[in-house]
Structure 1
């Protein structure tokens, strides 16, 4: 029997994950059966179960993959001194993640944002998935905290703000952008970039007035 190449195995695994993602985004986790996944990917049960034991393992694999991509994107930024500013950093990472998922569509629209909403809902009843998300988001939060500290060390950001608070806010901006796409339709990442850039440009007039008063 000819040996199956690793490239073939990887492609088959990708086929299964993308097909499952479409099913989950379309109908939700509970309404999707393994039979639905088999039909979507046009493979036998044996071919699919060779890679995944069932629906729960598929969900965990999809979520783990996305969190890994997000984490790697922000980790890369920590290797720059200083890191790119928040507007460019968040939009570039989001753009990269969305680009890897753009071929997976449901009714002509990207499946990924809808899948994200499904995942968040599923964590309310799936302890394993909830633990995976907590770990993944916790790692991303730690990375963002280091990024903020690098901003502060470089004099790019106020030093009197808790880095963890900024990290949570930037993560909320990215998560909210995905939620908006799921609810209201696709939007270019430039929307997120420009919005963050505008917020970063806001002047703290109370501080400015205080400095003017002291100078007088």
Structure 2
């Protein structure tokens, strides 16, 4: 029997995940059966179960994949000698996420909701979020060293707020209408342009 190449295995894995994601987005995670996924992918049960023991493993793998790709934007930015400003980084990360997410943003909300039921998924997302916050913190500290940002605000607090901008954008896109990435980028750029007085009146 000919040996299956790693490239072929990865392509098959992606085929299964993309089919499962379409089912989850269309019918909901719990209403989707393994039979639905088999029909969507056109694969046999043996072919699917070779890669995933069930739906839970699929949704964990989807979360891993998106978080890895988005984190790459932050790694590249944090290694730059002159780091890009937050609006540029946020735009790049959301654009990369949009390119990866071939399914509606509503699936992201479903994944977040599943963390209540699945400790494994909760760990994946918590770790992913903490990693993203860590990358933001490195960037904020660079802004502060360069004198671009006031140094008296904890970098961790700024980092978590910037991470929340991305989460809020995804949530709004899922619950209202899918917004163009430029909306949140220009909004953040507007906030960054505030030139507040150094003293406040009483």
Cα-to-partner distance string for 1:120-143 (whole Å, 9 max, x where unaligned): 111112111111111111111111
Hey, which bits of structure 1, 4+ residues long, moved more than 4 A?
none
Give TM-score, length-normalised by structure 2.
Answer: 0.94
* Pairing partner for 1:140 from 125, 132, 141: 132
What's the CA shift for 1:184?
2.0
* Pairing partner for 1:167 from 159, 170, 190: 159
Q: Is the 2:91–2:181 contact (alpha carbons within 8 Å) kept by the matching residues of 1? A: yes
Residue of structure 1 in register with 2:13 after alignment: 13
Unaligned runs of 5+ in 2: none
Q: 2: distance between equivalents of 1:64 and 1:72?
A: 12
Q: 2: distance between equivalents of 1:86 and 1:145?
A: 11
Residue of structure 2 in register with 1:27 after alignment: 27
* Pairing partner for 2:123 from 110, 131, 138: 131
> Rg bigger for which structure?
1
Residue of structure 2 in register with 1:189 after alignment: 181
What's the CA shift for 1:24?
1.3
Q: 1: distance between equivalents of 2:69 and 2:104?
A: 13
Q: 1: distance between equivalents of 2:19 and 2:151?
A: 47
Cα-to-partner distance string for 1:75-129 (whole Å, 9 max, x where unaligned): 111111231000111111110121133xx2xxxxxx2411110011111121111
Residue of structure 2 in register with 1:74 after alignment: 74
Residue of structure 2 in register with 1:3 after alignment: 3
Mapped pair 1:152 → 2:144 = yes
Q: Is the 2:169–2:184 contact (alpha carbons within 8 Å) kept by the matching residues of 1? A: yes
Q: 1: distance between equivalents of 2:42 and 2:174?
A: 27
> RMSD of aligned C-alpha atoms?
1.5
How many residues were matched structurally?
A: 201
What's the CA shift for 1:22?
1.1
Cα-to-partner distance string for 1:130-173 (whole Å, 9 max, x where unaligned): 11111111111111111100110111111011101111111110
Residue of structure 2 in register with 1:94 after alignment: 94
Give TM-score, length-normalised by structure 1.
Answer: 0.88
Residue of structure 1 in register with 2:109 after alignment: 117
What's the CA shift for 1:6?
2.6
Residue of structure 2 in register with 1:39 after alignment: 39
